[in-house]
Chains A and B, each alone.
Chain A
Amino acid sequence: MTRRVYIGVAVLLAIACVLPFVVSNYRTFQLTLVLVYAIALLGLNILTGYNGQISLGHGAFYAIGAYSAAVLMDRLGAPYWATLPAAGAVCLVAGFLFGLPALRLEGLYLALATFALGVSMPQLLKYHHLEKWTGGVQGIVIAKPEPPFGLPINPDQWLYLFTLAVAVVMFVLGWNLLRGRVGRALIAIRDQHIAAEAMGINSALYKSLAFGVSAMYTGIAGALGAIAVQYVAPDSFTIFLSLVFLVGIVVGGLASISGALYGALFIQFVPNVADEISKAAPWAIFGLFLIGFVYLMPAGVAGAVRMLLLRLWGKSAK
């Protein structure tokens, strides 16, 4: 089974590498956004899926990451690739600090606290004492990275491949983190935090760490997203973004690494499909899709895929 998984991942990766050369630049751009969302969703999944802390404000960390990248590139002339670790570090600290007081809050109360963060973020970004950095309501326009070393590909393809490389690194790191001691500790806290503490797990530390790491993932995604869109503005990071992230991990599959990818495909493409079906009520159509997914795949797309594969392999093994 594990060998099959490795082969599957390798095939997927090969397809992912070839894709930008067979589809149009516009599709390549959309796929880049899918990868960006997948990283953000993986981050949220570490917190919500694995550790059971609900966040309604991850759009805020996405915004912080995006603005870190944009400010570094625009005001300080930093190269785009160097902004990723910086955005990650800023969000790691921001997430950890936000996680400390949030520790005292459980379940719905934590959801409310993070909601407050998400809702206030666009207004904080407009704050006029920060304007010389953030550009205020006008936002910041950033330049598109050119392919390095004179590679014979266009900027869209390069950005996709760059994002893909970052996504692979982030997913491998995430997988490493979650399959071992740390992952088990996070899940133990989620399932029964008193029992987990009785086993000697430092619940407070792990919870704030989960918050920090989760924010870091989302922040790096935000930075990549800003580079892909080439523009940041407060209106890009409304509370709706945070809610869409939550929708993404639930549809994709809670506590599942591959679920982040399915969720990203869902939040990228389903609104477009809905818009094409009905201009008058695209979100009603989106809602129907959402209800459909939740009914038909209660464990998320990842759960459904797992079941399907088990059934197929189960038969072939006989």
Chain B
Amino acid sequence: MKRKLVPIAALLAAALASPATLAQKKYDPGASDTEIRIGNTNPYSGPASAYGTIGKSITAYFKMVNDQGGINGRKINFISYDDAYSPPKTVEMVRKLVEQDNVLFVFQTLGTPSNTAIHKYMNMKKVPQLHVATGASKWNDPKNFPWTMGWQPNYQTEARIYAKHVLQTKPDAKIAVLFQNDDYGKDYLKGLKDGLGAKAASMIVKEVSYEVSDPTVDSQIIQLQSSGADVLFNITTPKFAAQAIRKVHDIGWKPTHYINNVSANIGSVLTPAGLDKSVGLISVAYLKDVADKEWVKDRAVMEFAEFMKKYYPEGNLMDGSNIYGYTVAMTLHQVLRQAGNNLTRDNIMKQAASMKNYRIDTMLPGIRIDTDQDDFAPIESVQLMRFNGTQWDRFGEVMGK
């Protein structure tokens, strides 16, 4: 058996070494000498339409790339459809992208339920479902789902970091938790409990949830205050985060207030809540916040501002979703550069899974993108930070993997 393999191996080695093979262009549907077709769904309408700006900033990014000559001489055709955050619509639109528009792969499809709906389909079709826009932990499962990859740090990792910080700084804390009643909120809650370990049951004195459709979270905050807690975990999306920060301040409650990264945004959360009311908030970050004075003269942030002005002027520069879209698009840009002329679906996954300590300068110092064949979680580290009234002060080490 072994001897039989030797000539084959020799042949393979010869084939790999010959320059003709190296220069040979290999294409799957969606790629050609002139074009790479990429599919995407985003909630441009419906309950989560605030996130639609991610799709728009990515579209703008690739317009810029095309103006600069494309990637390896190929133009990017980024096809993005509205799925209104409705899973059946996502299935329909993604099938259109794969079967009718013949995209090479889909990228940054947004939402945990929407991505769950197409998870099996993409893997059955062997079409990459790349850098999905959700922080659920299930996207990092290369063994069972080799065609799906996440991007941002996952919710559970982040929550475990807060738990660690509480245990270090306030081991006898009484913790109150406010969370959104969906997969995202529950993922965080699970991470928090895992992080607190055996002490979770005794430390968490109150858990209260809210629905995305609720008008306010005022009554939830009052309930949490009455529990006598001195630490508040605020697992909310931007609108509710702003309400919660203001209410906590207005009723004179002064807990150590942790707010999740989803809402750690000066422009869209802290400013509407009131900067003076946000002093002392603790969160984590992995991207630079454009509204943070620390980055006013930062080259990468200035380039981003320039990009926004030229290619997406109607977008809000301060909205964290835009620098998110820009940075994730840059990640894909690198994947495609690496893929070179071998634009097969197989190679796209291979390249996405072999990014070694890759830096994008809109990410905080020390944060890197790192993947391999068994690790489909590109960003796994974050840094703690505290709000001082005008900007975030980062403290401690970059944590995570």
Contact = CB atoms under 8 A, between A and B. Distances in A.
Contacts of B388: none
17 contacts: A25-B99, A26-B96, A123-B211, A136-B183, A138-B113, A141-B119, A229-B88, A229-B91, A231-B88, A235-B86, A236-B113, A238-B86, A240-B86, A275-B44, A275-B82, A282-B45, A282-B82
A231 B117 contact: yes
Counting from the closest, the 3 A-B pairs by CB-CB distance are A26-B99, A231-B117, A137-B182
A218 to B, nearest CB: 15
A240 B84 CA distance: 11
A4 interface: no
B227 interface: no
A136 B182 CA distance: 8
A24 B182 contact: no
Contacts of A26: 95-96, 98-100
A279 B398 CA distance: 39
A27 to B, nearest CB: 8
A41 to B, nearest CB: 16
A236 B92 contact: no
Contacts of B87: 139, 229, 231, 233, 235-236
Residue among A25, A141, A279, A283 facing the most chain B CB atoms (10 A cut-off):
A279
A27 B96 CA distance: 8
A29 interface: yes
A225 B112 CA distance: 20
B295 interface: no
Contacts of A33: 88, 92
Interface string A22-45: 001111011001000000000000
A230 B99 contact: no
Residue among B80, B88, B98 facing the most chain A CB atoms (10 A cut-off):
B88
Nearest to A141: B120
A184 interface: no
Contacts of B80: 279
B364 to A, nearest CB: 30
B298 to A, nearest CB: 31
Given A26-B99, A29-B95, A225-B88, A138 B82 contact: no
Interface residues of A, number: 28
A138 B100 contact: no
A25 B95 CA distance: 9
Contacts of B81: 275
Interface string A142-184: 0000000000000000000000000000000000000000000
A39 to B, nearest CB: 15
B113 A139 contact: yes
Contacts of B84: 240
A24 B100 contact: yes
B92 A138 contact: no
Given A235-B86, A279-B82, A30 B113 contact: no
Interface string B180-207: 0111001000000000000000000000
Interface in B108-140: 112-113, 116-117, 119-121
A24 B98 CA distance: 12
A126 B182 contact: yes
Contacts of B182: 126, 137
B228 interface: no
Nearest to A33: B92
A25 B98 CA distance: 11
Nearest to B99: A26
A282 B88 contact: no
A24 B97 CA distance: 13
Contacts of B171: none
Contacts of A29: 92, 95
A283 B45 contact: yes
B46 interface: yes
Contacts of A283: 45
Contacts of A235: 85-87, 113
Contacts of A138: 112-113, 116, 183
A283 B84 CA distance: 11
Contacts of A137: 113, 181-183, 186
B119 A236 contact: no
A30 B44 CA distance: 21
Contacts of A280: 44
A230 B122 CA distance: 13
A289 to B, nearest CB: 15
Given A136-B183, A137-B182, A225-B88, 8 more contacts: A141-B120, A229-B117, A230-B91, A230-B117, A236-B87, A240-B86, A275-B82, A279-B82
B47 interface: yes
A231 B87 CA distance: 8
Interface in A296-314: none
Contacts of A126: 181-182
B33 to A, nearest CB: 25
Contact of A240 (B44, B46, B91, B121): B46
Interface string A44-71: 0000000000000000000000000000
